[in-house]
Amino acid sequence: MTFLTTDAGVGTIVEPFTVTDPSGQAWELVVGLEVHCELATATKIFCGCANEFGSEPNTNVCPVCLGLPGSLPVLNRQVVELAMRLGRALRCRVEPSVFHRKNYFYPDMPKDYQVSQYDRPINVDGELELPDGSVVGIERAHLEEDTGKSTHVGGGGRIHDALHSLVDYNRAGVPLVEIVGRPHIRTPEQARAYVQELRAVLLATGASDAKMEEGSMRVDANVSMRRAGTDELGTRCEIKNLNSTRSLVRAIEYEARRQVDLLSAGERIVQQTRHWDEAEGRTHTLRSKEEADDYRYFPEPDLVPLEPAAEWVAAVDAALPPLPAARRRALSDRTGAEQATAALVVERDLDALVLTAVDAGGDPDRLLTRAANDLAAADVGALTAPAFAAVSRMEADGALTATQAKVVLAELVAGGGDPQAIAAARGFEAMGEDELAAAVDAAVASDPAAWQRFVDGDPKVAGLFVGKVMKATSGKADGKAVNALLRQRAAG
Amino acid sequence: MSERDTSGPGGRQGAEEVGGLEASALQLAAQVRSGARSAVSVVEDHLAGIAAGDGEIHAFNHVMEEEALAAASRVDERLAAGEDPGPLAGVPVALKDNLCTRGVPTTCSSRILEGWLPPYDATVVARLAASGAIAIGKANLDEFAMGSSTEHSAFGPTRNPHDTGRVPGGSSGGSAAAVAAGFAPLGLGSDTGGSVRLPAAYCGVVGMKPTYGAVSRYGLIAFASSLDQIGPFGRTVADAAALLEVVAGHDPLDSTSIDAPAPAVSAVLDAGVEGLRIGLVTELSGEGTDPDVRRRVAAAAEALEAAGAKVEDVSVPATTLGLSAYYLIAPAEASSNLARYDGVRYGLRVDAPTNGGMNVASRTAGFGDEVKRRIMLGTYALSAGYYDAYYGKAQQVRTLIIRDFAAAYERFDLLLSPTAPTTAFPFGAKTADPLSMYLTDVCTIPSNLAGDPAISVPYGLGDDGMPIGVQLLGPALSEPTLFRAAAVLEHSMAPTGDGGPAAGRERTT
């Protein structure tokens, strides 16, 4: 379902991805994403069956999720809780909502209709702030039930000429939230960032485990092109079967070029659903909107309208964890971290460690650099914030070189301990200025020809001399200090 | 029992030969609970009655002989062990064959469900069992409850025990006929537009449609979900009240179930109608209503006045729009509810080269004409571009009906009308003209659209000697008042016995 409205991007302006046609006309990209996520509840949306991936086929089923005659749905409270948690994290309003029936025949859909929210969704009008500061509007994030899973045997895996088909209804009735983004995305990379950020929010709120590879997070991209600099939205195509962010980026780029080829030839884009073929690196027509089903939506009479009490919404708000955008901002405010560094540190879930280390007297710059470059995501082993702070301090004071600091850090992660003691045991003593100067002079003298090239302005040669100094000092020298001395000598 | 009844169909006479089949449900329960009779003997008698008489009546699609005897044995064992076997201990009940019964065929009188055995019991079936009642068979109906005569059953029609040349009404014709014929003192039906009340009127028994949400729909195979409601049949008002109390009350498995205990109706049956204000709905007893039906409704009004109620004419204008609105809303919901019968998972499958072809072939072979007609009507009413003009408009009419009823209930406690404009008609009289068939529900449909309760009470015979039912309507949750008034009507018929409620009318409360 798509609800494209206005094209009012907010936040940092992203330079659009453009494709220039042979006539020299530039076309710019407009993307809106629809993301389906399975909610991480213990049980399904309308019955008590386990919501569990990977069970034996057709074992997590009952009369309700099999749609047996006479069965009736009862809404799972935890589904509403998680949907609201996600909605509030996406800065949506929670509104009174209604479930509808979306009617169409398909063998993996037990009732031959899907219960879904239609014109009265639970979450409306939110936004998602990306690490680059751009903000993508969220039209709605509504609830619906998942279908079963078909496996078509023979005939190329499609239902049309399959020999027979198998259906697993374990997934039928798994709760889904569909997050409909506004067409505010301007580049394939921004689309990737949106999906990654959404995933971070889903994980932070506990709403979903958001695994694209297991299908618990499924992304469809609405792609259109328009003449660069214009505001009107072009006719879009919806791309399905995007199983990774890599596919998403490739598919958008492919589709942008395909549409520009048509547009520049004077043809019209036909609104349609297209299937991304990862192996071929292209999209195929699935069905065009003209031949689309009439879903005959009407309010689901077996369920009552959903009107969460204001107190419930307030409780959800109060329990929301810190979200990635706020964490990035807090990190930058406290440490002066650049946007990209803050994004990386928060993505790795290391911001709390860095901030605690700052409080313990650590050097903000060194902490950020080490967290962004030298620590694995989330798992920092035995490393404590005070130890991390001490290492950063030693590095900032020149007691440890960058290389030495990394070694000490790795040892702290592996087994903990006292940073001073580890440095001493390794013989990492600060190198005196005179000692370093002597080593640099010796290196310069060892290769006059190369030195002349450096003096003449070839910066690439610097690495050669840094290497010589490192070798002569067994890695004790600080690369930055060596570089500074080299520049000083060349200038002098 | 009236002369009319004894000169009735052979089935009825067969039932009498067995004996004991005239007893009311409450009498039987009292006998079983006191140890005067065993539950097994009660069930055996009724099974014998069915065996003797149902060949002609065809009230049942499936008689649950084994299950019923086993359940009766369990009741007797509980009694022997000194346990309370429940308020309806040993009382046979006919279940409309759209109520799911675990391991027992449940067909909706449709070929499409052939061979399907539900893996679970409907909530009402479980509650019956817990009350000690004995499910004795699955009663015939119009396919998927779509009809007013039980002629639209894939397994052949049910015959009216009062005249086997006539229909029993529908769609719960099997349950009504079973109760009228003495095959069971109690029956459960479902009422979407009058499907309990109409056959109750045609068969001369009491039939009641509770407030929407009063009885759980879990396990009732849906026709039109926003209108469907399970209701009781009995030969006496007290029996119907006892059955309602057993099956009603909140059920967490039905989201539309009212969060309240079952209404206490048995306790108020003797409370009378002194001081009640009752409105005679002019729109529901005007043109098209047979004179003899009008006379019996007038007699009912007099009886209520004689008992101390104040009866006046009242106009409820929007009720005239009920039929049109109903025939958009009910088919629309049905078109969606019946989509699942696609040959993939259960029931009839007719093979074809493609999955879509198999869906079409299965549905073509599995559904009867009336079901297909309504699926097409409903699909059309919900289609893009038509929704607002049809389904949307019908929902607005529904709001008008609710509003007009609410206005009437500001002045009246209850309303009175015929249950149907005529008595039971002969087979084939209306099958060629669907619209004339639909018109038989004109008096009952408004209650379903409003979600309000209503009860049909037998009130004498028509010029053709067939039973006439009068309908009492009330606002939501007015079941106690409805049953009080129904008891007054029943009592007013008792002394002279002019064709009133047949057997077992003795009050045991």
Q: Where are the domains of chain A?
A: 10-318, 322-425, 433-491
Measured distance CA(B168)–CA(B366) in Å, rounded: 24
> Which has more confidence, A13 or B388?
B388
Measured distance CA(B87)–CA(B509) in Å, rounded: 13
- The CATH code of the domain that includes B402 is 3.90.1300.10
Q: Binning pLDDT at 50, 70 and 90, where does residue A161 land? A: confident
State the best of B106, B336, B358 to mutate against chain A, taking most chain A CBs within 10 Å: B336
Q: Is the pLDDT of residue A321 over 60?
A: yes
Measured distance CA(A137)–CA(A129) in Å, rounded: 9
- Measure the CA dihedral B72/B74/B79/B80, to 10°: 120
Q: Name the token pair of A466.
A: 């840094």
Residue of B nearest to A169 (CA): B345
Measured distance CA(A354)–CA(A332) in Å, rounded: 11
Q: Do B253 and A72 touch (CB under 8 A)?
A: yes
Cβ proximity of B279 and B475 under 8 Å:
no
A350-390: pLDDT as tens digits: 999 999 999 999 999 999 999 998 887 667 899 999 999 99
* Per-residue model confidence (pLDDT) at position B3: 37
Residue written as tokens 């279940």? B95
Extended beta strands in B271-320, E state:
277-281, 310-314
* Per-residue model confidence (pLDDT) at position A402: 87
Q: Do A69 and B116 touch (CB under 8 A)?
A: yes
Residue written as tokens 């405010």? A333
Query: Reduced to 3 DSSP states, what percent helix, strand and coil does chain A have, rounded to the nearest 5?
Result: 40, 20, 40
Residue of B nearest to A75 (CA): B255
B209 CA to centre of own chain:
7
* Per-residue model confidence (pLDDT) at position A56: 97
10 Å Cβ neighbour count for B259?
9
The domain of B138 spans 3-319+398-493
* Per-residue model confidence (pLDDT) at position A424: 86
The Cα angle at residue B492 between residues B488 and B497, in degrees rounded to 5: 140
Measured distance CA(B352)–CA(B358) in Å, rounded: 5
**Quick one: DSSP state of residue B220?**
B
* Per-residue model confidence (pLDDT) at position A160: 72
**Quick one: DSSP state of residue B54?**
H
Percent of chain A surpassing pLDDT 90: 73
- Measure the CA dihedral B351/B353/B359/B364, to 10°: -60
Contacts of B3 (CB under 8 A, 6+ apart): none
Determine whether B172 is an active site residue.
no
* Per-residue model confidence (pLDDT) at position A403: 86
Please indicate if any CB of chain A lies within 8 Å of the CB of B122: yes
- A–B CB contacts, 8 A cutoff, strictly below: 99
For B254, the closest of A72, A103, A296 (CB atoms) is A72
Q: Do B340 and A167 touch (CB under 8 A)?
A: no
State how far residue B333 is from chain A, nearest Cα, in angstroms: 8
At residue B180, φ and ψ (nearest 5 deg) are: -65, -35
For residue B391, being part of any structural domain is answered with no
Judged by DSSP in three states, B99 sits in strand
At residue A428, φ and ψ (nearest 5 deg) are: -85, 85
Mean pLDDT per 10-residue section of chain B, whose length is 509 residues = 37 40 94 97 98 98 98 98 97 98 98 96 98 98 98 98 98 98 98 98 98 98 98 98 98 97 96 98 91 97 98 96 97 98 96 93 98 97 93 96 98 98 96 90 97 98 97 98 98 63 36
Mean per-residue pLDDT for A235-245?
Answer: 94
May I ask the CATH class of domain A433-491? mainly alpha
State the best of A62, A80, A112, A147 to mutate against chain B, taking most chain B CBs within 10 Å: A112
Chain A hits for B253, Cβ within 8 Å? 72, 74
Please indicate if any CB of chain B lies within 8 Å of the CB of A302: yes
Mean per-residue pLDDT for A335-356?
Answer: 93
Measured distance CA(A394)–CA(B287) in Å, rounded: 101
Could you give the ipTM of this predicted complex? Answer: 0.93
Chain A hits for B391, Cβ within 8 Å? 298
Q: Do B340 and A111 touch (CB under 8 A)?
A: yes
**Quick one: DSSP state of residue B390?**
I
Q: Do B219 and A73 touch (CB under 8 A)?
A: no
For residue B13, being part of any structural domain is answered with yes
10 Å Cβ neighbour count for A92?
23
At residue B343, φ and ψ (nearest 5 deg) are: 85, -5
Choose among A151, A222, A217: nearest CA to A185. Answer: A222
Judged by DSSP in three states, B4 sits in helix
Alpha helix ranges (H) inside A139-241 = 188-205
Choose among B49, B214, B185, B52: nearest CA to B501. Answer: B185
The Cα angle at residue B394 between residues B144 and B287, in degrees rounded to 5: 85
* Cis omega (within 30 of 0) for bond into B171: yes
Q: Letter for the amino acid at A83?
A: A
Residue of B nearest to A162 (CA): B354
Please indicate if any CB of chain B lies within 8 Å of the CB of A100: no
Strands A272-277 and A237-242: parallel
**Quick one: DSSP state of residue B321?**
G
Measured distance CA(B273)–CA(B287) in Å, rounded: 29
Residue written as tokens 């055995």? B117
Percent of chain A surpassing pLDDT 70: 96
* Per-residue model confidence (pLDDT) at position A428: 81
Q: Do A304 and B255 touch (CB under 8 A)?
A: yes
Give the total number of structural domains in chain B: 1
* Per-residue model confidence (pLDDT) at position A168: 97
Measured distance CA(B87)–CA(B275) in Å, rounded: 32
The Cα angle at residue B38 between residues B37 and B40, in degrees rounded to 5: 135
Residue written as tokens 């195929």? A284
Which entry of B38, B110, B131, B171 is annotated as an active-site residue? B171
Strands B206-209 and A18-20: unpaired
Determine whether B195 is an active site residue.
yes
Residue of A nearest to B354 (CA): A160
For residue B101, being part of any structural domain is answered with yes
Measured distance CA(A207)–CA(A37) in Å, rounded: 9
Q: Which of residues 304-363 of B touch A (CB under 8 A)?
A: 332-333, 335-336, 339-340, 342, 344-346, 354-356, 359
Residue written as tokens 């509403």? A80
Q: Do B340 and A112 touch (CB under 8 A)?
A: yes
Determine whether B96 is an active site residue.
yes
Q: Name the token pair of A161.
A: 């000429």
Chain A hits for B225, Cβ within 8 Å? 301-302
For residue B453, being part of any structural domain is answered with yes
- Polymer length in residues for chain A: 492
Measured distance CA(A290)–CA(A72) in Å, rounded: 34
A424-440: pLDDT as tens digits: 888 887 677 788 888 89
Q: Do A303 and B255 touch (CB under 8 A)?
A: yes
Measured distance CA(A72)–CA(B100) in Å, rounded: 12
Measured distance CA(A270)–CA(A265) in Å, rounded: 14
Cβ proximity of B128 and B170 under 8 Å:
no
Q: Letter for the amino acid at A253?
A: E
Residue of B nearest to A298 (CA): B382
Chain A hits for B335, Cβ within 8 Å? 103, 296
Which entry of B109, B195, B216, B257 is annotated as an active-site residue? B195
Please indicate if any CB of chain B lies within 8 Å of the CB of A148: no
Where is A35: in which H helix or E strand?
A: strand A26-38
Strands B92-96 and B186-190: parallel
Q: Name the token pair of B504.
A: 């077992």
Please indicate if any CB of chain B lies within 8 Å of the CB of A63: yes
